């Protein structure tokens, strides 16, 4: 069997493939045309960020079975094409954990002790100690936003500094942490009380511009913020403005909305902002680890059919996978929508399947994947979804029922946060397209597509007109408006499909309408399609 390696990896990684008697084609400096030519008769393909695996490449790679990404992100792989051809896509999500955590600490210390300024001034022949008085970490409050593996590694290290640690993560609760190490709080409390804030969340619709000017201004004037996660979580122009105005003392940023950056970037040259060129995973150990990991995973799959960190493979039987794919799409959709509705930590998930939705194990994994994906899209796959849910303290139960339901192929989900349970049901119709058929107790048939508003309001005349007028004034077109009324409590529930999403300020204007009781903006995706 042949394996194409089209980006640089270490010699130890290559030796793993060669020792397994795999024929290795090594093209780290190859042009896109050379890579496309080489992939035609290979069985495995190992890449980093430098290779773009297009739909055309996948189509001509007739023997390709597995693509291994040395790293986390797979945005350079045409995922739908890989799925359609039954190609397994693997990544290495956890190898960089220690490297990213240590870089966070390095930036925190540099920011606190003015090490960078001291170095540059000494090079200029200056000895101005009194101008470089720093701040101790001991006794300060650290706020960790995102408590995945990297966030937890940062927590463990900062405990040794004698810091008081608070954390925010919508998917975790205090019960799974030592009270003496960390206190779980809401984001607002964390922002207002922390001396240091460090970010360890993925970039999603929910986290994009999470720290804008308004939120930065709620921090202490003496506070500092560190981002080694993803560019775009902090609004870069707002951060520059907040530091210049003295709203916060400083920042350290390793990741940017668009990379590489140049001298025109708004953060370049701002006093008290430290920049590093995306070095979170740039250690010898991390590079070696990611090379070995991806080569071992590809080798194990090609030689033994073993799946590790497979991002698109709920079951090993490809024929069965194609058969149940519509149900997996539905389950993932329901989990994704439930996640966007949730405001707090999830404690329990119950799934009930009817009709042809009989493959409960992959359906369960698909639902969990959708549920967790909005917070950790790069880590969650069919292999690790259940493990991560367990780590987060989420109990997931699923069963198949032979009892007749209103719909032939039904998946019902109930998700509990705190003492409140949200129900969403969906069905797969004959065209294999999913429909929502029960939304929080409201029986209605909804085609989930694109941007949607879930609106609860008082059931009185004029509400729809007010909503339509406001959206019209914002130049937002309504694609569909579905309504369900409840005579018992005089309220109505509506699903509004709109052509493009509302900004936060406009969403608030909608929620401020007197008759509106609640508004949730939802982005519906089915499988890999918007």
Which among 327, 400, 332, 397 has a CA at the least distance from the CA of 367? 332
Which among 472, 363, 477, 483 has a CA at the least distance from the CA of 412? 363
Q: How far is Cα 244 from Cα 139, in angstroms, rounded to an integer?
A: 26
Which among 73, 117, 122 has a CA at the least distance from the CA of 93? 73
Name residues whose C-beta falls within 8 Å of residue 183's C-beta, 6 or more positions apart in sequence: 165, 166, 167, 174
Q: What are phi and psi of 159, to 5 degrees?
A: -60, -35
Buried b or exposed e, range 385-395, using 16+ CB within 10 angstroms: bbebbebbbbe
Buried b or exposed e, range 25-56, using 16+ CB within 10 angstroms: bbbeebeeeebbebbeebbbbbbbeebebeee
Name residues whose C-beta falls within 8 Å of residue 465's C-beta, 6 or more positions apart in sequence: none
396: which strand partners? 349
> Quick check: 505 and 527 in contact, CB under 8 A?
no
**Active site residue: 69, 230, 265, 497, which one?**
230
Q: Is 285 helix (H, G, I), strand (E, B) or coil?
A: helix
Q: Which residue has the tokens 């970037």?
A: 265
Q: How far is Cα 5 from Cα 47, in angstroms, rounded to an integer?
A: 6
> Quick check: 48 and 26 in contact, CB under 8 A?
no
Other C-beta atoms within 10 Å of 306: how many?
A: 13
- Is 259 an active-site residue? yes
Q: Is 287 helix (H, G, I), strand (E, B) or coil?
A: helix
**Active site residue: 33, 259, 487, 488, which one?**
259
- Is 230 an active-site residue? yes
Strands (E), 263-417: 273-275, 346-353, 395-400, 410-417
- Is 121 an active-site residue? no
Instruction: Please report how the helices 97-113 and 115-123 are oriented relative to each other, as an axis angle in degrees rounded to 10.
Output: 60
**Active site residue: 84, 278, 422, 491, which one?**
278
Strand pairing report for 346-353 and 410-417:
antiparallel
Name residues whose C-beta falls within 8 Å of residue 496's C-beta, 6 or more positions apart in sequence: 452, 453, 455, 467, 471, 478, 480, 481, 482
Q: Is 395 helix (H, G, I), strand (E, B) or coil?
A: strand
434: which strand partners? 428
Which among 143, 195, 140 has a CA at the least distance from the CA of 167? 143
Positions marked catalytic: 230, 259, 278
């Amino acid at each position: 069997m042949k394996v194409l390696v089209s980006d640089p990896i270490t010699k130890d990684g290559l030796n793993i493939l060669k020792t397994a008697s795999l024929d290795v084609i090594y093209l780290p400096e190859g042009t896109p045309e050379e890579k496309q030519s080489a992939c035609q008769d290979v069985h495995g393909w190992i890449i980093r960020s430098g290779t773009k695996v297009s739909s055309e490449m996948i189509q001509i790679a007739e023997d390709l079975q597995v693509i291994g990404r040395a790293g986390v992100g797979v945005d350079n792989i045409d995922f739908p094409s890989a799925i359609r051809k039954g190609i397994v896509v693997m990544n290495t999500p956890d190898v960089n954990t220690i490297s990213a955590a240590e870089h966070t600490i390095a930036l925190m210390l540099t920011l606190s002790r003015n090490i960078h300024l001291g170095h540059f001034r000494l090079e200029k022949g200056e000895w101005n100690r009194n101008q470089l008085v720093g701040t101790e970490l001991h006794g300060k409050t650290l706020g960790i936003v995102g408590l995945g593996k990297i966030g937890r590694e940062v927590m463990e290290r900062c405990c040794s500094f004698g810091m008081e640690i608070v954390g925010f993560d919508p998917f975790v609760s205090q019960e799974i942490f030592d009270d003496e190490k960390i206190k779980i709080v809401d984001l607002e409390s964390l922002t207002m009380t922390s001396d240091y804030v460090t970010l360890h969340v993925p970039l999603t619709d929910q986290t994009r511009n999470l720290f804008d000017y308004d939120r930065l201004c709620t921090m202490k004037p003496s506070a500092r913020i560190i981002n080694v996660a993803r560019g775009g979580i902090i609004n870069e122009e707002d951060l520059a403005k907040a530091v210049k105005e003295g709203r916060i003392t400083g920042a350290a940023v390793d990741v940017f909305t668009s990379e590489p950056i140049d001298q025109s970037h708004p953060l370049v040259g701002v006093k008290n902002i430290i920049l590093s060129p995306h070095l979170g995973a740039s250690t010898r150990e991390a590079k070696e680890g990611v090379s070995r990991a991806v080569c071992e995973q590809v080798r194990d799959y090609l030689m033994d059919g073993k799946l590790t960190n497979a991002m698109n493979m709920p079951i090993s039987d490809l024929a069965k996978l194609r058969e149940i794919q519509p149900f997996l799409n539905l389950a993932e959709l329901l989990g994704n929508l439930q996640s966007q509705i949730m405001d707090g930590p999830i404690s329990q998930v119950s799934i009930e399947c009817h009709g042809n939705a009989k493959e409960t194990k992959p359906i369960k994994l698909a639902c969990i994947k959708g549920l967790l994906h909005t917070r950790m899209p790069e880590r969650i796959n069919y292999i690790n979804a259940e493990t991560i849910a367990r780590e987060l303290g989420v109990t997931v139960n699923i069963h198949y029922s032979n009892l007749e339901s209103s719909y032939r192929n039904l998946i019902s989900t109930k998700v509990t946060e705190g003492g409140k349970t949200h129900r969403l049901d969906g069905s797969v119709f004959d065209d294999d397209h999913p429909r929502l058929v029960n939304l929080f107790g409201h029986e209605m048939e909804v085609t989930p597509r694109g941007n949607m508003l879930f609106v609860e309001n008082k059931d009185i005349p004029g509400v729809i007109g007010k909503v339509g007028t406001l959206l019209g004034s914002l130049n937002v077109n309504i694609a569909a408006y579905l309504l369900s009324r409840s005579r018992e409590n005089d309220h109505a529930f509506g699903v509004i499909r709109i052509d493009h999403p509302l900004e936060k300020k406009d969403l608030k204007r909608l929620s401020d309408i007197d008759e509106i009781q609640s508004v949730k903006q939802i982005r519906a995706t089915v499988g890999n399609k918007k």
